[in-house]
Structures are given as structure tokens and as C-alpha cells.
A and B are shown apart, each in its own frame.
Chain A
Amino acid sequence: MDAPIVLELQGITKRFPGIVADDHVDFDLRRGEVHALLGENGAGKSTLMNILYGLYRADEGEILVNGKRITFASARDAIANGIGMVHQHFMLIPVMTVAENIVLANEPTAAGLLLDYKAAVERVRQLSARFGLAVNPEAKVENISVGQEQRVEILKALYRGADILILDEPTAVLTPQEASELFEIINSLKAEGKSIIFISHKLNEVLEIADRITVLRRGKKVDTVLRQGATEAGLARMMVGREVLLRVDKTPAVPGDVLLEIDDLQVEDDRGLPAVRGVSFEVRAGEILGIAGVEGNGQSELVEAIAGLRKPAGGRIRLAGREAVYGNTRKMFDSGLGYIPEDRQRRGLVLEFTIAENIALHDYRLPPDSKWGWLFPGRLVARARQLIKEFDVRGGGPSTRAAALSGGNQQKLVAAREVARDPKVLVAAQPTRGLDVGAIEFLHRRLVEERDEGRAILLVSLELDEVLSLSDRILVFYEGRIAGRHGAAASEEEIGLEMLGARASEAA
């Protein structure tokens, strides 16, 4: 490739107390290419991009844009130099229209003061036509899909004159179909001469879209390779520093008794609107039932109802032969429920508690943790020490606060607590969200082991890959209903369509 280099990072180093987030990282970007930045969580990708976008200042190193040395003091400077960033979490104002959001902070004005709305709509229309980003400029953001919101974010960057686009984990929130549409958009942006930095920890999509791939590991650049000749296994080895098992090894399930029985369950969301609309299924001992679906289709409400944290509007839940009672979460756990909540920081852990205290979250009131209301901190510590070892929780001892652990280790802590209580039914909601390859591998293998121990496992995940590789049976959720039921050998294509509601009417 002989296109000119538009961006160069030379020897970027960023230190945080006790850690070097980026250690002399070099990176360059050519005109019209997609350069992927690949690495585990904590490898230094986000820090590097935050430096480029002017949010952090590098301790050492240079940034060159079109050969010119630049110092950024804020994101405004980065924008002025033609760099745009689409964050993982979109920053749009829901009640405003697409066009209003895009021109925000740089509005075309009429009579010097008023927003020239017509001109804004027209400019957005031109931009979206030029780059093949189909959006309705006059739609309210609150009414459009997540995939479209992402397009609005990209348009916003383009509107501000970005030639270099940073996409931070852009597929994390998308369905497979939306992801492939995004890749088409990226290709048309390339054709228009835009350069794209694509941040990801997913190997397959990096291999699909990138021209070159730079791998970071623990703050250091491992290598930059061309897509041609790169393999998933090779990239994974570079990311983790050892051989990684990408496929989950498992034998066919040997289902036993029904341990979790859901019968015509209806649950409402926080606003009192129906979220789960009459769902029936069962999970047997020794099998993993996976629930696939786009976020917000009733999965969270289903799981919370099973744990007794949310009141069903109708239907029945039977766990190990016992009827579930709303409001008595403790009884559900005592009847044999293990539950890895989808939000480990908000729900799964008391971050200010130590590891030992967190492990006692369900059992603190039972012997040997306590007797007659008297707590034995020494016994909590002893049990924590044992589980830390068994589940390979790193980054602290029993008296370390949970907040000080990395996301992967926090999740291992939650999993350790739930599995160690020897549950009959294990509900795992998004067990690997935001984790890196090593931690995912560990948790996946552990879930399969727990299945083989004879537990009934309900796996809820937004990652279709995860559902496909772990589940013995799969349910697809769409708008609170089961849009499809599949065996272990389901096609990704079919499930993807059902996730978007394409076949919802048939299945219902």
C-alpha cells in the first residue's frame, strides 16, 4: 500500500500510578485504509485512542497528522485536526431529531441566531447519500434503532470534517445483520478516502474488515500485520501471549430431570410495560439452554423474575420443584438457585466490600459464617482464600476491596460465589460481557464443567457466538416472546433473522 500516511503515533507512553498503560507504542494510518487495533481489555487500546482524541496527554511520544506535529489539549483540538471518534456508548440527545443531533455545536444558522433546520436536514441528507449511511434526518433519536444511532454518530463525526475515524468496539451493540451493514458503510467510507481505526477484541471481525492489524498486549505493541496471511489462532496468540482454545470443547448433553420450569410467564419492565409476554420453557439437569436476543427484548426481566427480584405479572416459575415467590430472593437462592447477574458492579458485587465479604453475600447469616447474628470475619476470609485459589481470582487477597479488581476478576469472583454454593440451577446473564479472551475461556470452560456436574444452566447472552458455542438448546427472544427454538446445531443466519423479528409472527 502506497497511500500517504495521514496519522502517525511515535513512541507514545502513558503511565498511571503503578502501571504503564502504553509503553512506547508506534502506530500509523494510511489514507483510505482500515487499521484495526486489537488487544484484550486493559491492553492499552482505549488509553492510546484517548490520547489521540485529546482526552489524555501522553507522557512521551509524538502525534503527527499529515506529517505535522500536533499537540492536543482537548477533543476540540482533535476534531479541528480532522479526527472523529465514535464511542462505545453513544452520546446523542434522544428527544432531538437526527439532523439536530448531527449539527449540534456547529449549527447552520438563519439570521445569525436561529437554527436553520431546513439547511441542517439538507446537509445531513447530502452526507448520508455520499457515504451510503441511510438515516432519516427528521426522525427523533429515541425512535431509531441502535444500529441507526451508530450511523448518526458516524455522520456527526463526518459532519465535523473528520478524515480519520476512530470506531471504539463498534459491533458490541449490534446484531450480526447490523454489523455486516456497518462493514459495508466502512467500505464506502474507505472508498471516499477516509481512514479508519477499528478497535476491537473480536478476531473474526477484525479479519473481515481490516487492511492492517496492530496487536497490543499489556501496553506494548506486539506487531502490525497485514490481513492477508493472518489467522484467528495467530492473532489470539499475539493478544494473550500463549495458545488459546477458541472453541469450547464439550460432549453432547445428557439431560436429566427438569429443574427449571417457566410456564406462560409475563413480566413487566420498570415503566410497567410488558417485557416478557407469555414465555414457556424448561431447563433440564445437565444441559445449557441459551437465550439469544438483542438487548432489551425481555431477557433481563425474565432473569430477574426467576431470582425473585421482579414480580411476574402472570404465569409460573418452578425451580427444583418449588414455586418461586416474588420478593423472597433469599428463598430462591436457598432452593438451589445460582445467579450470575448481568451487571456485576451494580448488582453482583458490593464494590466497597472486600472479596471475603462479597463471597458471603448469600450465606453471611448462616453457619459457619455467623451464629446467632454474630459474624466471624476470620471464617469469611478462610473461605475466600480457598475460592480465590480455585477460581484463579487475581489482583488481591481476601481483604482486597472488590472495586480494586479488574472486570474479569470481578466476574470470576461472582462466578466463584454462585458456583461454590452448589446450585441446582445456574442462571448466567451475560457472564462474559466486557471480559478478555483469557477470562472468557476460563468462564466458558467452567460453565460446561458445571453442566457436566449435572446442573441446569440458563445462559443469557447478547453475544450470538457465545450462545452458539455453549448451548445445547437455543431460544431466541424477540419483544418478550420466544421467536425461535433450536438445537445445538443452529444456523447463525437463521437466529440472526429471528433476533430482528423477521420470523416472529410464525413462531408465535
Chain B
Amino acid sequence: MSEGLAPQKGPLPEESAEAPPATVAARLALFQRAGGILTPLATAIVAFLIGGIVVAATGHNPYVAYWDIIKGAGLNWLAHPWQTNTAATDAYNMSQTLLQTTTLILTGLAVAFAFRCGLFNIGGQGQYFVGLFCANWVGVSFVNMTRPAHVVLGIAVAAAAGAAWAAIAGFLKATVGAHEVITTIMLNWVAYWLGQYLFVQGGPLQAAANKPLDVPISGTVAHSAQLPVFWGDPLLQGLHIGFFIAIACLVVFWVLLNRTTLGYEVKAVGFNPAAAAYGGIGVRKNYIRAMAISGAFAGLAGGLDMLGYLFKFGTSDVQASSIGFLGIAVALLGRNSALGTGLAAFLFGALLYGTTHGLQAGVINPSLAGHLTEMIQGLVVLFVGADVLVLYLWNARRRLRRRRLADEVGEAAA
């Protein structure tokens, strides 16, 4: 055979599909594609630094502000994790941070899973809403059910509703080629107005008991449908077992993608639909299925929130909710991986709770504090999306330097 053929040490630049990166920027890009830990870390740090500059610009001390956020998020509890009594502020704050983390893990996975199939699911918010509405309906109705059954039914219906909602976008993509970004955004608004309709005075889910008072709020989820609280006081919004469901979902996400034929198909379609079709994989089927699984994660988030600590919802809550959108930043920062999504969810959970509840007005203006999370969220999305720009600037700088060098050499030769 070809024993005589000189052994190839590695792909050579001109014959390889993907030449060894010739520039620092290309190596950086390769590293990013490989899911390096460095870039998400750098992204987060730079986002926090810029946030700090903004705090300083408003005349407050950024160090004090960030330290207060850390304390507000209960991160100082990690110094003595054996003291679990939530009567202590730091333990309580941590339980609240983990409550936010639970939701963010799931809305993050909703974006990450679709992404692995090459789809950008912007509809996490809408899918979260329908899960939440359905959980409320199940929790308020069927009051005669026993506890475990009622809880399981509520969760299952919420996940199924989210799946169905997202599958609409997958179906439109598969059949008429409608872009999922557009359709999921539109579905978000449908879910938003659906919520307005459901909870408004006289709406189908507005509580009968509220009606004389004219309050646009739903009924309260029956005790039999409420998730057990394992850390803290159930009356003071303790941490419910949904937290473990979210952690389990991280595992499910990883296993689905790496240990099942379903995940193999999802990734093949995400990387290269033409090759997937050649391999006999139904590309359209996978678009619908991946969206449905994504939607199930987001719907589950809504269900757990409703049955775990919200218990009721009103039209003003619909207007204020944006946790589904935060899932986009979580998935982007987490590089659409299971572990990354978990860590990013914890970071944003801490930030969300630390800025909205932990800060004192003297340290930082409360209205600014709440916006700090949104700002850092925005910066993360911007930086992750700005990879291309950064690489371009890097290359432009190199080109400029090369040209200048060439001019000098040219002059010297002349």
C-alpha cells in the first residue's frame, strides 16, 4: 500500500478543510468554537467592569455596590454553608438566589437545546408564560387530587404546553420555512396578550373571590399542587424541590445530546443539515422536535415558578416578567453546554436577586440597581455577539501594522 508515503504530521494549510490557525485571532476563534472557558469568563468580567464604571459615573462607589450585591445574593453564605437556618440573612438570600437560578437554568436550556439544532429560540418568554398559565389553571382546578398526583399533573401540563407553543415555531420553520426568530418573537406577544386576557377582570383565570374587588389576579394554587419546600419557610418563599428538577434537567440535557440517537440527530442537523439529510436524518422532523424539547424546558420553568412560590399571577405580573429573555444571555454565556448553562444561571440568579433585593438605597440608587442586571445581561449578549467584530478589529490592526512595516522596508530598500 502506501507505506512509502511520507507520514503526514498534520494537515497542511492548503489541503486542509480547516487550516491550522495562522493568526492569534484565528487561534482565539478556534478556541471559542471549541468552547474554551476563557472567553465566557472574560466576557463576564468585562461586563462587570463596565457595569462598575457606570456605577462610578453615577457618583457611587462600585466596590461597595458590588460587595452589597454579593451580600444581597447571599454569596457570603458560602463561607459557612453548614449554617442553613434561613433566619440568617445570608442563608435566606442564598435560598432566594437559588430560586432564581432554578428558573434561569430551565429558560437557559430552552435556548441552548434549540441552538444545538441550529435554531435560535427567542421564544423562551412566551413558552414560560404558557407553562405558567397552565400550571395555574391545573393548580387552581382539580382541588380534590392528592398531593403528589396534583403536583405531577401541574408540572407535566406546564411542560407540555411550553412544548406545544414552541413546536408551532418549529412546525412553521419545517413546513413553510418561516424563520424561528420571527415566529418565536410573535408567539411571545401572543402569550403576553393571552396572559392579559386570562387574568383581567372577568377573565377565564381571574379568581372568583377577587371579582367584587376588581383585582386582575388569578386564584391561588391549591396546597395539594404546591411543590414541597426543602429550604426555608414555605410562607416566606422558601426554596422548593423544583431546584432539583432543574439540576436534573441539566443532566437530561447532557444525556440527550451525548448519549442518545435523538441528540445525534439534533447535533447533525445543527452542524450541517445537508449532511444530515444525506445520512437519512429528517431535518424537518428535527426542527419541530428540537423546538418542542426547548419549549418543554421553558414551560417547565413556568410551571415550577407557579407551583413553587408564585401560586398566583396577575396582569401586572405578566407585564413585569422577563426571566424568559434572560435565558438567552444565560445560554450564550454558558456556550450552550449543560455545565456552562448551570453556572451562568447561578451567576445571573445571584445578580438578579442581589441587585433587586439586597442593595441599600444609600449605597446605590435602587432604580439604578435593578437596571444593573439588565445592563450586564445586555453587555453579555453584546460581547458574545461581538466576537466577529473583535476578530475583525484584531485583523485590521495586524494588516495596518504589516503595511507600515512593508513601507519601511520598501523605503529602506529604495
Contact = CB atoms under 8 A, between A and B. Distances in A.
Interface in A346-402: 346-353, 357, 360-362, 364-365, 370, 373-375, 377, 392, 394-395, 402
A441 B274 CA distance: 29
B262 A404 contact: no
B402 A73 contact: yes
Contacts of A394: 7-8
Nearest to A307: B278
Interface stretch (B12-20, B191-199, B320-328): B12-20
A373 B18 CA distance: 32
A442 B272 contact: no
A203 interface: no
A271 interface: no
A42 B14 contact: yes
A357 B279 CA distance: 11
B280 A441 contact: no
Interface in B255-295: 258-264, 267-268, 271-272, 274-280
Given A19-B10, A241-B5, A405 B17 contact: yes
A395 B5 CA distance: 13
Contact of B275 (A43, A307, A347): A347
A187 B406 CA distance: 35
A403 interface: yes
A357 B410 contact: no
Given A18-B9, A364-B261, A241 B278 contact: no
A360 B263 CA distance: 13
Counting chain A CB atoms within 10 Å of each CB, the highest count among B13, B18, B27, B413 belongs to: B13
A374 B264 CA distance: 10
A383 B279 CA distance: 17
Nearest to A69: B413
Given A352-B271, A438-B2, 20 more contacts: A17-B22, A19-B10, A19-B12, A21-B14, A42-B14, A42-B16, A45-B14, A47-B13, A70-B413, A73-B405, A218-B12, A329-B279, A331-B280, A348-B275, A350-B267, A350-B272, A362-B280, A405-B16, A407-B16, A436-B15
B2 A405 contact: no
B5 A41 contact: no
Interface of B: 1-2, 4-22, 27, 258-264, 267-268, 271-272, 274-280, 402-403, 405-407, 409-410, 413
B18 A361 contact: no
B199 to A, nearest CB: 40
Contacts of A352: 267, 271-272
A410 B262 CA distance: 25
Contacts of B272: 346, 349-352
Interface string A87-121: 00000000000000000000000000000000000
A347 B16 contact: no
B4 A408 contact: no
A310 to B, nearest CB: 10
8 contacts: A41-B15, A309-B277, A351-B18, A361-B278, A364-B261, A364-B264, A405-B17, A408-B15
A32 interface: no
Interface residues of A, number: 72
A188 interface: no
Nearest to B1: A392
Interface of A: 16-19, 21, 41-47, 57, 68-74, 77, 217-219, 240-243, 307, 309, 329-331, 333, 339, 341, 345-353, 357, 360-362, 364-365, 370, 373-375, 377, 392, 394-395, 402-410, 436, 438, 441-442
Contact of B267 (A307, A330, A345, A353): A353
B80 to A, nearest CB: 41
A92 B14 CA distance: 23
B25 to A, nearest CB: 13
A19 B20 CA distance: 8
Contacts of A21: 12-14
A429 to B, nearest CB: 11
B68 to A, nearest CB: 43
Given A74-B403, A241-B4, A357-B264, A41 B14 contact: yes
Contact of B17 (A77, A351, A353): A351
B219 to A, nearest CB: 40
Nearest to A408: B15
Contact of B280 (A68, A74, A329, A346): A329
Contacts of A404: 11, 16, 18
B263 A350 contact: no
A362 B275 CA distance: 11
Contacts of A329: 277-280
A45 B13 CA distance: 11
A331 B405 CA distance: 60
B278 A374 contact: no
B20 A16 contact: yes
B276 A350 contact: yes
A17 B21 contact: yes
Contacts of A241: 4-6
A406 B15 contact: yes
Contacts of B11: 19, 42, 395, 404-406
B408 to A, nearest CB: 9
Given A19-B9, A406-B15, A349 B280 contact: no
Contact of B260 (A331, A374, A402): A374
Nearest to A394: B8
B276 A42 contact: no
A348 B18 CA distance: 16
A365 B261 contact: yes
A406 B21 contact: no
A345 B276 CA distance: 12
In the complex, the 5 A-B pairs of residues with the closest C-beta atoms, listed nearest first: A330-B280, A242-B4, A42-B12, A42-B15, A73-B406
Contacts of A362: 279-280
Nearest to B408: A71
Contacts of B13: 16, 19, 21, 42, 47
A331 to B, nearest CB: 8
A307 B279 CA distance: 10
B253 to A, nearest CB: 15
A441 B8 CA distance: 17
Counting chain A CB atoms within 10 Å of each CB, the highest count among B9, B21, B276 belongs to: B9
A377 B4 contact: no
B133 to A, nearest CB: 32
A341 to B, nearest CB: 6
A247 B32 CA distance: 46
Counting chain A CB atoms within 10 Å of each CB, the highest count among B6, B11, B406 belongs to: B11
A375 B267 CA distance: 13
Contacts of B20: 16-19
Contacts of B405: 73
A246 to B, nearest CB: 14
Contact of B5 (A17, A242, A309): A242
